Structure formats: structure tokens, C-alpha cells
């Protein structure tokens, strides 16, 4: 689950990481109230969306006087941002963060994430903050250091020394930097984050280190341990299919292609994606109906797959173990009839009660083709999607 910057900054503060004073507004009236309560003479206003690159996209604005704040807030609230991070559909900001501007001496990059290859949390740091880290990694990878740290979320002194050296921090600043990084590592571990990125972490003209921006993503599998974060979920920031799937407690992943996929089990989902690619197609999404799904749940899952406008053919690939093939067939047929489906549907069924499942599909008078094996099913789906 991704958090908004303002949500992340509240958490950073609890861990003792300095952030500029801020408030959040979802209307012009609230923006005025924030400005008044913080006694702002000038302000930085930033759209709150689950994507970075807001500065370049016009989502970060400076108000030089307090009078400018309402006008800027009006322009930013409801703003739609479209960039390479958002996809073509873009994301709409419902809120704006309003903060006391900071005089920047220098911008740094600092983040914590899990390095899956080394199976350890790592701190990633660079003295060149502000810009996109992906770009820096391409052009000057030597300017980025990666420091593995323990699952206790504690950095050792040699690790802090390495960090200070990379950042060019000395004396008092090295001390502040060590505290900052230590708190960041602790915050990362204790919130069960998959990413905590501060870009930029800035040295102010006054000599302080503050988190000017914050991106925090929590591992979904650990959310049950964080009931305090449950109201951070913002369905407006994910695709409507993802929101529907979360609501129905189904696993759904959106992709860029045009073949919708209904599968059972994550392993079979991976195999289905691979074989579609192998035959020259591209998946639009996949939905894992899970083990004990009912007909209604299958129908809901299938509705989600079909509501994705990119879908030009659907591949249903089920190996019924715990799952009964007839249940799948009933659910799919129900959803397809209700939605007056025009796209071709290719079905490959195997396992428990497969004969009954096939019989139901054949008798359904839908545009359904059944395939005997996965390779044939994938080829039929790729061809159908190409024909449109
Ligand atoms: P992003 O573009 O989505 O990553 O948004 P950021 O919050 O990182 O803001 C983009 C850029 O705006 C930062 O890298 C800073 O250069 C600038 N910026 C943001 N807040 C302030 C501020 O308080 N003072 C100054 N001088 N610049 C700021
Ligand atoms: Mn940033």
C-alpha cells in the first residue's frame, strides 16, 4: 500500500525525522485555514498523488505571499497529473500539502528498501539528491552507495561512517546525518515498509537536515500488523479494477497488454503470463480467483477483468484442485451474460469436475472457445486479441 506524502511525513515525525511544518487541505477554505494556523507568509503547495515527478509536472508551486495560497490551492486541488509513473490514465489530486518553505543549501538522496538478491534491507544514498535516482543510476552509478543493514533496523557505526563519507557530511552535520539515517532505518523496519524514500533530504541554510519529500510503501502482507494505517488507504489513487479487487478480496494485477486473464493460483498465473508472451501476445491483467471461491466471487472477478477497457480477448486458465471447474464455469457465464460480452473468451479447464465445467461452457451460447491444453489456449487468445 502506498501512502501519501503527508501521511508518510506524519509517520517520519513520530520516528524523530525532521520535516518542514505542514498542513493538508482538500478545499480552498481548508488551505486558508492551514495558512492561518501555521502563520505562513509564504508556502510550498504540493499535490498529493501516488506518483513522483510532481515538480516537473507542475504539481509543486510556491506562494510568495499568503494571498497567493488560495489561488494556487484552487488550481492544484483536482489537478490531474500524467507522467511516465502514472500511466496514460493519470492520477487526480484530491488534496494539497501546504508547507513552510525551506531554504535549501544542498539536496541529498536517501532511501531504504529490501534488496531481494542479497535478502537484506539496504540504505541507498547519494549526495546528488533532487533528481531522479533512476537517471542517476544510469549516468553516474558510482555516485550511489548501497549499505546493507540489519533486520533490527539499526545501523552500525562503520555503516554510518560509510554513509557520511558518501554524502560529504562532516562534524555536526555527520552527527545529524547519522541520527537521520538511524531513524529512517528504524522507521522502515517498524512500519514493515517495502520502500521509504526521501528525495530530497535537504541541508537547510540553517544547517539542519530535513525530509523535504517522502514516499512510503507498506508491504500489503504486513498490513494486518498496522491497524493504525488502515485509513491511509486511498482508493482514488489506484485503478478502479484494483480498487474493486481489493473490495472483493481478490488478487488482481494490471498490466499493459490486451489479453485479460482469469487464473487460479499465483504459479499458474506466472505460467500463463509467460506463455502468452511466448506466443507473441501481452497480458492486460491477471486475476487470481483463489482457492475456495464461490460462483459469485468468480463472477465478480470476471467482471473486474472485463471492465478493463484494454481487454480484447480473455484467457481463462484454471486447474481445479480445491476449486471446482463447474463453479468457475457458472461464475464466468453469469458475469459474461450480465455484461453482454463482446470479446472472445478462451477457456482451458483441467481438474476437479472438468467435464461438467466444459459442458456448461459449451451449452452457454457465449462466444467461448475451449482449448485442450495451455499452449493451444494461449495461441487462440493471442490470435483473438490480434483480430480485435
Ligand atoms: P517530486 O517532484 O514529486 O519529487 O516533489 P518534491 O517534493 O521532491 O519537490 C520537487 C522539488 O521542489 C524539490 O526537489 C525541491 O527542489 C523543490 N522544493 C520543494 N519544497 C521546497 C522548499 O520548501 N523550498 C525550496 N527551495 N524548494 C523546494
Ligand atoms: Mn521528490
The predicted model scores a pTM of 0.83
Comparing 324 with 102, the larger pLDDT belongs to: 102
Q: Write out pLDDT tens, residues 222-273.
A: 999 999 998 999 988 887 888 888 888 888 988 889 999 999 888 999 999 9
In the chain, the percentage of residues whose pLDDT exceeds 70 is 100
Terminal Cα distance for the chain, rounded = 34
376 vs 383: CA distance, rounded Å: 11
Q: b/e for 324-356, b at 16 or more Cβ within 10 A?
A: bbbbbbbbbbbbbeeeebebbbbbbbbbbbbeb
Residues of the chain with CATH 3.40.50.261: 238-387
Within a 10 A sphere around the Cβ of 382, how many other Cβ atoms? 24
**Overall fold of domain 1-19+103-237:** D-amino Acid Aminotransferase; Chain A, domain 1 (3.30.470)
Among 52-61, 179-188, 290-299, 379-388, the least confident range? 290-299
Which pLDDT band holds residue 90 (cuts at 50, 70, 90)?
confident
At 265-279, the pLDDT tens digits run 889 999 999 999 999
Q: Where in the chain is the domain with CATH 3.30.1490.20?
A: 21-101
Per DSSP, 2 falls in state: B
Q: Which of 116, 183, 191, 186 is nearest to 146 (CA)?
A: 116
Would you call 247 a catalytic residue per the annotation?
Answer: no
pLDDT of residue 259: 96
Residue-wise pLDDT for 38-68, tens only, equals 999 999 999 999 999 999 999 999 999 999 9
Question: Within the chain, how many helices (H) and strands (E) appear?
Answer: 12, 18
Kindly name the residue from 107, 134, 172, 197 that is annotated as catalytic: 197
Over the chain, what is the mean pLDDT? 93
Mean pLDDT, residues 69-84: 94
| Atom number of ligand 1 nearest to Cα 51 | 3
Pocket of ligand 1 (CB under 6 A): 20, 44, 46, 52-55, 60, 101-102, 104, 107, 130, 200, 212-213
Using CA positions, which residue lies closest to atom 10 of ligand 1? 55
Task: Ligand 1, residue 57: give the atom nearest the CA.
Answer: 2
Q: Residue range 133-155: average pLDDT?
A: 94
Domain 238-387 has CATH 3.40.50.261: yes
Is 109 part of the annotated catalytic residue set? yes
Helix (H, G, I), strand (E, B) or coil at 219: coil
Class of 21-101 per CATH? alpha beta
Question: How far is CA 2 from each of CA 79, 113, 154, 192, 237, rounded to the nearest angstrom?
Answer: 19, 14, 24, 12, 9
Give the pLDDT band (50/70/90) at residue 309: confident
What pLDDT shows up at residue 337? 83
Atom 15 of ligand 1, residue of closest alpha carbon: 130
The CA distance from 130 to 107, in Å, is 6
In this structure, of 20-29, 42-51, 71-80, 341-350, the range with the lowest mean pLDDT score is: 341-350
CA distances from 56 to 71, 82, 96, 166, 213 (A): 20, 11, 16, 27, 14
Q: In the predicted model, is pLDDT for residue 30 greater than 90?
A: yes
Domain with CATH 3.30.470.20 in the chain: 1-19+103-237
For residue 161, give the 3-state DSSP assignment.
helix
The length of the chain is 388
Amino acid at each position: 500500500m502506498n501512502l501519501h506524502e503527508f501521511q508518510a511525513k506524519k509517520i517520519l515525525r513520530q520516528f524523530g525525522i525532521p520535516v518542514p511544518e505542514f498542513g493538508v487541505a482538500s478545499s480552498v477554505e481548508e488551505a486558508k485555514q492551514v495558512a492561518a494556523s501555521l502563520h505562513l507568509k509564504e508556502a510550498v503547495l504540493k499535490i498529493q498523488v501516488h506518483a513522483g515527478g510532481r515538480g516537473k509536472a507542475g504539481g509543486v508551486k510556491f506562494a510568495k505571499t499568503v494571498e497567493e495560497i488560495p489561488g494556487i490551492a484552487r488550481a492544484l486541488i483536482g489537478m490531474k497529473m500524467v507522467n511516465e509513473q502514472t500511466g496514460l490514465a493519470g492520477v487526480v489530486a484530491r488534496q494539497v500539502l501546504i508547507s513552510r518553505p525551506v531554504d535549501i543549501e544542498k539536496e541529498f538522496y536517501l532511501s531504504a528498501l529490501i534488496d531481494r538478491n542479497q535478502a537484506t534491507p539496504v540504505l541507498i544514498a547519494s549526495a546528488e539528491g533532487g533528481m531522479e535516482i533512476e537517471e542517476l543510476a544510469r549516468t553516474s552509478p558510482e555516485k550511489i552507495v548501497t549499505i546493507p543493514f540489519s533486520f533490527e533496523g539499526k545501523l552500525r557505526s562503520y555503516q554510518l561512517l560509510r554513509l557520511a563519507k558518501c554524502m560529504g557530511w562532516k562534524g555536526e552535520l555527520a552527527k545529524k546525518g547519522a541520527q537521520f539515517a538511524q531513524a529512517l532505518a528504524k522507521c522502515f523496519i517498524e512500519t514493515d515498509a517495502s520502500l521509504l524514500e526521501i528525495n530530497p533530504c535537504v541541508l537547510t541554510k540553517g544547517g539542519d537536515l530535513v525530509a523535504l519529500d517522502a514516499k512510503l510503501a507498506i508491504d500489503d502482507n504486513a498490513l494486518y500488523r498496522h491497524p493504525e494505517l488502515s485509513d491511509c488507504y486511498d482508493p482514488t489513487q489506484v485503478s478502479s479494477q484494483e480498487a474493486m479487487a481489493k473490495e472483493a478480496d481478490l488478487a488482481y494485477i494490471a498490466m499493459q497488454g490486451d489479453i485479460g486473464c482469469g487464473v487460479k493460483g499465483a504459479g499458474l498465473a506466472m505460467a500463463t503470463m509467460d506463455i502468452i508472451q511466448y506466443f507473441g501476445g501481452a497480458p492486460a491483467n491477471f486475476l487470481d480467483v483463489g482457492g475456495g471461491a464461490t460462483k459469485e466471487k468468480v463472477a465478480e472477478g470476471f467482471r473486474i477483468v472485463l471492465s478493463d477497457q484494454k481487454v480484447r480477448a480473455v484467457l481463462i486458465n484454471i486447474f481445479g484442485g480445491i476449486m471446482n471447474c463447474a463453479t468457475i464455469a457458472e461464475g464466468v457465464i453469469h458475469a459474461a451474460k450480465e455484461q453482454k460480452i463482446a470479446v472472445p473468451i478462451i477457456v482451458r479447464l483441467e481438474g476437479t469436475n472438468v467435464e461438467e465445467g466444459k459442458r456448461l461452457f459449451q451449452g452457454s451460447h457465449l462466444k467461448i472457445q475451449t482449448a485442450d491444453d495451455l499452449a493451444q489456449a494461449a495461441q487462440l487468445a493471442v490470435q483473438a486479441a490480434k483480430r480485435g
